[in-house]
Chains A and B, each alone.
Chain A
Amino acid sequence: MFRISAAIALLLATTAAAQQPAPPVPSAPAGAPQGAPATAGDQGGLVVDVEGGISAPTPIAIPVMPAAAVVNTPAGSTDALGRQLSDIIANDLKGSGLFTPLPPSQLRAVAMAEVQAPSFDYWRSTSAQALVQGFIRANGDGTLTVGCYLYDVSSQRELAKQGFVVSPADWRRAAHKCADTIYSRLTGEGPYFDSRIVYVSETGPKTKRIKRLAIMDQDGANHRFLTNGQSIVLTPRFAPNQQSIVYMSYENDRPSIYVYDLGSGRPRRVVQGASLTFAPRFSPDGRWILFSMATSGNTDLYRVSASGGTPQRLTTSPGIDTGGSYSPDGNRIVFESDRSGGQQLYVMNADGSNQQRISFGSGRYATPVWSPRGDLIAFTKLAGNFRIGIMSPSGGGEKLLTNDWSDEGPSWSPNGRAITFYRSGRGAGGTATLWVVDLTGVNERRVPTPLSGSDPAWGPLRP
């Protein structure tokens, strides 16, 4: 499925393993990159600060990528693809809030020979501090090669370069990988653009809304429905290996958790029996599914092997214990419980021992999700409005990131720098939409979906 076969060569970028010169990109533009690669250890290169950069985004030039030759491919002609590649990269980088792509009027047409020998004189006359150039080539075996180069305009240095070989169906991924290379090299943060979102697509009146599982790229492209809408479906979440999705469905009027296999397109009921099961989430190693089960009006947390079997009970409080999420090392679980009266956040060991309340602010706290970096927990705060917030796993440093009428259900980007969530509108005509906010809370943007959408879950970085 993912055909980004071994990044060609020049992976240099951040890998210090550049001792052995990587093989050059096959027939890259004359003088394929051979110089010493820029590495993360390099001093003096352009740096983009993920906190402060939001208020002063870095101007970046991303001219159209030339084609080695104009060839028709199943993904379109290579010259059209070259234009789209640069658009996708610009859109990704702009969406991070840290970059301002130069408008097309300030870009110049880049010839193939210029890709690795930028016209710095020209670029220095613009406001661009960083320059992204690249090329596209159709290979004899039907694959496409996309080259990606990052330059520091003021020092005229190459900061990173990478090549990607993709099947035509995966051509957009080459653009996302290129954007990830640039983002990571300049910010020092992990990549996140080459990733997907699974969510619930919504349509129809509020009293009988039709809900379907849908999956798409992080930027809304390659959208596809997974279920047909006959049953209500809720809260999909990726397996760590991205081969399946765990979610809750009302199939046969027996609301319970299912695993949807992305390969076969088949759902499988996870826990047998008549009890209501919901709020599922995989463990980081993919071996377990953490979920809630309600029996006779009482809801507790359980875990079950991802392949099914007998659930193990983790909590026994008389309240509603739900919204469980593992820490990235799998050793702890954050969850919400109303055992104290209203919903609050708790952390416990993965076996259910040592349950400690961590939220103490005013209002209620719900839907906690542990950051993939382990340093933060995102949640929904209910105090008048529903708002997305973050706090440390010990409960300190609470910060609210959004302020609308009803924001709910945070899910982390693979690098832990951004959070997707859904926003509900009021009243009979109120619909839900998907959003992304970064950790500063400043950069908030809508994720395009064909219909309304809720319950977004961000998947891991694709391999």
Chain B
Amino acid sequence: MAKIKTTLLIATCGLAIAACAKKRPETLPPAPVETPATEAPPATTGTGTGDVSPGSAADFQRSVTSNTINFGLDQYDIDPGARAILDSQAEWLARYPDVRITIEGHCDERGTREYNLGLGDRRANAAKNYLAAKGISPARMTTISYGSERPVATGSDEAAWAQNRRAVTIVLG
């Protein structure tokens, strides 16, 4: 299992071109500890009928696998589950080349406040770099780190923390 994960990670890096390899330290971070959240909470689906305008935020929510990817404890690498989600986002973004996005990076509460700001920035940029490697222009993407300031799950347990370690893609305007 761990072996497969490593292989996939390397493949991801290859795809993500220099962006990924360059800013990572010589040593890859240790394999994520049981990355729990390959399936993120489903995007709010409403009872989407046909009244969603193409290229809108609502259309994005309806079209992509999820607007959220999750990370392992203290990790910021894009794992296979996250890849699939970002692939669906890249596909949609390619269809609407005028749409701009911002990517939020978030952390769980088990890190110190200032470090989490840096870690959230890493996570947002990891997602941005992946999308850039998929052909989305970096000029269309901004990032913002919220550190641990905006959790989605309020518990103080591993399940909640796993949900809170995330990068969220927001369609602007």
Chain A contacts to B: CB under 8 angstroms: 205-209, 211, 232, 234-235, 248, 253, 255, 274, 276, 278-279, 292, 294, 296-299, 318-320, 322-323, 336, 338-339, 341-343, 366-367, 380, 382, 386, 406, 408-409, 424, 426-428, 430, 454-455
Contact = CB atoms under 8 A, between A and B. Distances in A.
Contacts of A296: 23, 125
A299 B144 CA distance: 14
A237 to B, nearest CB: 12
A338 B114 CA distance: 12
B119 A320 contact: yes
B112 interface: yes
Given A205-B154, A207-B150, A207-B151, A297 B126 contact: yes
22 contacts: A206-B154, A232-B149, A235-B113, A248-B117, A292-B118, A294-B117, A294-B118, A294-B145, A297-B76, A297-B124, A297-B126, A299-B118, A319-B25, A323-B114, A323-B115, A336-B115, A343-B112, A366-B112, A380-B112, A386-B112, A427-B155, A428-B155
Contacts of A278: 114, 117-118
A320 B145 contact: no
Interface string B120-131: 011011100100
A319 B155 CA distance: 29
Pick the most buried of B76, B113, B151: most chain A CB atoms within 10 A of its CB. B113
Contact of B152 (A207, A255, A341): A207
B109 interface: yes
A292 B120 CA distance: 14
A297 B125 contact: yes
Interface of B: 23-25, 27, 29, 74, 76, 109-115, 117-119, 121-122, 124-126, 129, 142, 144-145, 149-152, 154-156
B140 to A, nearest CB: 14
B156 A426 contact: yes
Contacts of A294: 117-118, 121-122, 145
A323 B122 CA distance: 17
Given A279-B117, A294-B118, A318-B24, A424 B125 contact: no
Contact of A322 (B27, B115, B126): B115
- Rank and list the top 9 A-B pairs by shortest CB-CB distance, nearest first: A297-B125, A428-B154, A320-B118, A426-B156, A299-B118, A294-B121, A366-B112, A279-B114, A206-B154
B145 A255 contact: yes
Pick the most buried of A205, A235, A322: most chain B CB atoms within 10 A of its CB. A322
A427 B151 CA distance: 12
B25 A276 contact: no
A323 B27 CA distance: 23
Contact of A382 (B76, B112, B144): B112
B121 A299 contact: yes
Nearest to A406: B109
Contacts of B74: 342
A424 B148 CA distance: 13
Contacts of B151: 206-207
Contact of A367 (B29, B114, B117): B114
Nearest to A234: B113
B9 to A, nearest CB: 16
B114 A322 contact: yes
A208 B149 CA distance: 8
Given A206-B151, A206-B154, A207-B151, A297 B122 contact: yes
Contacts of A292: 114, 117-118
Given A292-B114, A427-B154, A318 B149 contact: no
A366 B156 contact: no
Contacts of A255: 117, 144-145
Contact of A409 (B110, B113, B145): B113
Given A278-B117, A455-B113, 6 more contacts: A206-B154, A294-B145, A297-B124, A299-B121, A319-B25, A386-B112
B21 to A, nearest CB: 11
Contacts of B23: 296-298, 318
Contacts of B156: 426-427, 430
Contact of B112 (A253, A274, A367): A367
A223 to B, nearest CB: 22
Nearest to B142: A274
Nearest to B105: A297
A407 to B, nearest CB: 11
Nearest to A275: B121
A426 B109 CA distance: 10
A252 B117 CA distance: 17
A296 B20 CA distance: 11
A380 B145 CA distance: 22
A209 B121 contact: no
Nearest to B124: A297
A208 B152 CA distance: 9
A322 B145 contact: no
B118 A322 contact: yes
A77 B6 CA distance: 75
Contacts of B110: 382
Contacts of A382: 110-112
A408 B113 contact: yes
A211 B118 CA distance: 20
